[in-house]
Structure 1
Amino acid sequence: MWPYFIFINLFLFFSAVFLLLTDYAKNIQPANFPPGPRALPFIGNLFTVDFKKLHENCTQLSEKYGDVYSLRMGQTWMVVLNGYQTIKEALVAQGASMADRPIQPILEDVNLNLGVISSNGHRWKQQRQFALSTLKYFGVGKKSLESAILDEFKYLSTYIAEYKGKPFNPHLIINNAVSNIICSLVFGHRFEYSNARFQKVMSMFDQALQIQGSIWAQLYNSFPVIMRRLPGPHQSVQNIWNEVKAFLRTEFKEHRKNWNPSDPKDYIDCYLSEIEKTKDNVSSTFDEENLAICTLDLFVAGSETTSTTLRWGFLYMSKYPEIQEKVQAEIDRVVGRSRQPTMADRTSMPYTEAVIHEVQRMGNIVPLSVPRMTSKDVRLGGYVIPKGVTIITNLTSVMFDKSEWKTPYTFNPGHFLNEKGNFDKRASFIPFSAGKRVCLGENLARMELFLFFTSFMQRFSFSMPPGVKHAMDYNFGVTLSPVSYEICATLRQ
């Protein structure tokens, strides 16, 4: 018996040594690869950082390792970029080398690397150009969309006014209202706030985005073969997005019934026409599966970030009533109470513009942006980043950079005002990222934020319920959202 046990022990010992040596050899990097915290075998730095505040950890690590440093998440090497100058150099000056997206199994299992966010190469270029031109055709940046936003606010305002100043949770209703803008462009119609199925879809977004920014997603991306078979929150991501896609396919089916190729009424109509037009073109990337993922990308990106920014805005206005009053005074002076604010008022409202930008800066909605990947070897900050390495652009390090902002951790609209009180947009303000992968919905988001925020400030004053202290805590995920809260919206007399 003893020789048998000795054999088993020796086998296990040499197997462990072999696996350790294999892991070590597989993860050897060039001598001038960016430094970083020591990585453990197999799991790397998965447990070095706190995934509930990963953006803060990444910023703290830059103080020790510099603006360009590395992390190893399981079997995936990442290089984290910090500071405005470094990120600008990477995304703008060397943007062509960092325009790809890495393959993330937790997303790949859902979107098959299709769409406008996760795709690369020819597919990405074709889909992005189509989305930009189509959204522009249906009103992005035009007066017609401005009217749609103002009309949506009327529905929203009536709904909130019914609370008569009593506490309510703004989460789902704001998501619904903001989503209705992109819905009008993509689906050709809005959804009533009483639509139970749409409300359910809205409620799932937050959950999925939080899981995708958690350690569960990193484990899934590092060990997909194992994690696909293990229970845990990561399993719900596929269920959520599959349910959303089922919702979208119902919309496609309805569109097919009344589809008139010569008279497209929305993004889906145009996409269906493009499928028919290019069906014999081998280089075409237009098909119904890609339509589902592109629509999902537009749907989520066009609603979640803007609605989250507005929810942060309510909190900051209630926390700083003196700032809220100054915004309202400027609106009263420029717009008055007899009409709604318009985009034409924007240049006459520097303080309000400064407040909106400060909400975006402090809210830090997409703290680590969306990952990129090097398409060739890149030299940055004195280091060489090999082809195929995931790039994390830590926008938190820019939004709270002490060298860029006078009081980085204090809500201060003065960050965006010059000595004469005029609005001063800072180059280091990059909430929509930069370069070739800059958010394609930036113009839409800016219009929505200005019109919704000023309309709210014109009609309501926000405050916390009696006896409730301000909690500025966040939920970390792909987006940084405020923890669930209730607030009072009182009609201004």
Structure 2
Amino acid sequence: MIQERQRLPSGPVGLPVVGYSPFLGQHPHKAITKLGDKYGSVFTLQLGVNNVVVLNDWESVRDAFNKDAFLGKPLHSAFTVTTKAKSLADENGDVWRDQRRSALQVLRDLGFGKGSMEERIIDEISYLTKCIDETTGEPMDIHEVLIPSMSNNISHLVFGHRLDYNEPRRKIFDKLLDEASSRFSIIGMIAMSPVWFSKIFFKLGNIVNRSGFDAMVSIFESEISSHRKSLDTNNKRDYIDGYLAEMEVRQRKDPNTHFTRQRLL
């Protein structure tokens, strides 16, 4: 830890095990901005047992993300400590670069960022406003319809179709999204802990809704199987179609390609 720190930019000294985390207070972003006044736009913080290099202004972030060295991801994260399966979420280096390039191309082909995507969003908003109108002015929990409305835009992009608000699969997605948003802060703290502690915590703690996660994977598996049966490489309907088409091309050239069904999941 000490030798690693000596190779990194200077920064404040923290405490053993917890690092500088206790001094960040309730508003870490403000504390980090203030540290930038003393240590500059690039400095090091020890968060838990990990040394973290902070990029504290736009220029530093832009310069860093233009360099391949910054494409790496932590070797141990909430994803890697709970499963041995490789996914796009924890890829690094050339594999990540190739997967990202392909994903962006598929999204562009589907109209991501263009007028056609805007039309889908407007269409989904019409379903949302209809649900609100049906309350006839009575108080309602907007959260119950806002979450499925937002995630349906993702469903349409990935699956090629929306899911009705009362659809059981829709409810599984929404529940997991709701749980994830409320637990991100906990996951962040655990990520600063030693790997052995993270593994124990994720396995024994109620951080990951395993049954819900497995149900979501099952839904994706079903969608992928359905897409494979009806796949037309000349008419890509959604992201799954685009990935499967690219996967077929890659596997014909190289049976050991990193474009696999597992990474699509």
Give the one of 189, 196, 208 matched to 2:180.
208
> Which amino acid is 2:46 matched to?
R
Counterparts of 1:238 and 1:199, CA distance in 2: 14
Matched-pair contact (CA < 8 Å) for 1:105–1:221: no
So what's the TM-score if we normalise by structure 2? 0.82
Cross-structure match for 2:258: 285
For the 8 Å contact 2:81–2:198, the answer to whether it is kept is no
Partner of 2:107: 135
Query: Cα offset for 1:167?
Result: 3.0
Which residue is 1:123 aligned to? 95
Runs of 5+ consecutive residues of structure 2 not aligned to the other structure? none
The yes-or-no answer on 1:222 pairing with 2:193 is yes
SS of structure 1 residue aligned to 2:53:
strand
- Measure, in 2, the Cα distance between the counterparts of 1:238 and 1:126: 31
Give the AA of the match of 1:150: I
Using the TM superposition, name which of 225-234 and 182-191 deviates more.
Answer: 225-234
Give matches, 1:74-473, under 5 Å. Answer: 74-92=48-66, 95-109=67-81, 112=85, 114-115=87-88, 117-214=89-186, 216-230=187-201, 235-237=206-208, 239=210, 241-280=213-252, 281=254, 284-292=257-265
Q: What is the distance in 1 between the residues matched to 2:15 and 2:42?
A: 20
Shift, 1:48, TM fit: 3.6
2:202–2:208 Cα contact (<8 Å) kept: no
Equivalent residue of 1:98, what SS? helix
RMSD (Å), alpha carbons: 3.0
Is 1:34 aligned with 2:9? yes
1:22-73, Cα deviation, whole Å (9 max, x unpaired): xxxx4234657433332222332343434x6433332343344433222112
Contact in 2 for aligned 1:110/1:242 (Cα 8 Å): no
Task: Work out whether residues 18 and 47 of structure 2, in 8 Å CA contact, stay in contact via their aligned partners in 1.
Answer: yes
Inter-CA distance 206–70: structure 2 relative to 1 (3 Å threshold): farther
Q: CA deviation at 1:205?
A: 1.7
Structure of greater relative contact order (alpha carbons < 8 Å, 6+ residues apart): 1
The answer (yes or no) to whether the contact 2:227–2:240 under 8 Å persists in 1 is yes
Query: Shift of the alpha carbon at 1:192?
Result: 0.7
SS of 1:237 mapped into structure 2? coil
Q: Which of these two proteins has the greater Rg computed from alpha carbons?
A: 1
Contact conserved, 1:109 with 1:238, CA < 8 A, in 2? no
Separation in 2 of the partners of 1:33 and 1:245? 40
Identify the structure with the greater helix proportion. Answer: 2
Return the alpha-carbon distance in structure 1 between the equivalents of residues 133 and 153 of structure 2.
Answer: 21
Q: Is the 8 A contact 1:252 1:268 kept in 2?
A: yes
- For the 8 Å contact 1:37–1:45, the answer to whether it is kept is yes
AA matched with 2:61 = I
Task: Give the length in aligned residue pairs.
Answer: 262
Query: 1:129/1:110 Cα in 2 relative to 1: closer, same or farther (>3 Å)?
Result: farther
Distance 1:118 1:270 in 2: 21
Structure 1 Cα separation of the partners of residues 147 and 73 of structure 2: 27
Q: Is residue 217–residue 234 contact of structure 1 (8 Å, CA) maintained in 2?
A: no
Paired with 1:245 and 1:57, the residues of 2 have a C-alpha distance of 39
> How many percent identity over aligned positions?
28
Q: Deviations over 1:376-433 (max 9, x none)?
A: xxxxxxxxxxxxxxxxxxxxxxxxxxxxxxxxxxxxxxxxxxxxxxxxxxxxxxxxxx
TM-score, reference length from structure 1 = 0.47
In the aligned structure 2, how far is the partner of 1:84 from the partner of 1:122? 26
In the other structure, the counterpart of 1:380 is: none
Q: CA deviation at 1:156?
A: 1.4
Structure 1 alignment gaps of length 5 or more: 1-25, 293-493
CA shift in 2, pair 1:107/1:48, >3 Å: farther
Of residues 280-289 and 106-115 in structure 1, the stretch that sits farther from structure 2 once superposed is 106-115
Equivalent-residue separation in structure 1 for 2:118 and 2:202 (angstroms): 46
Cα 1:36–1:235 shift into 2, 3 Å: farther
Partner of 1:378: none
Residue 172 to residue 65, structure 1, CA distance change in 2 (3 Å): farther
One-letter amino acid of the structure 1 residue matched with residue 17 of structure 2: F
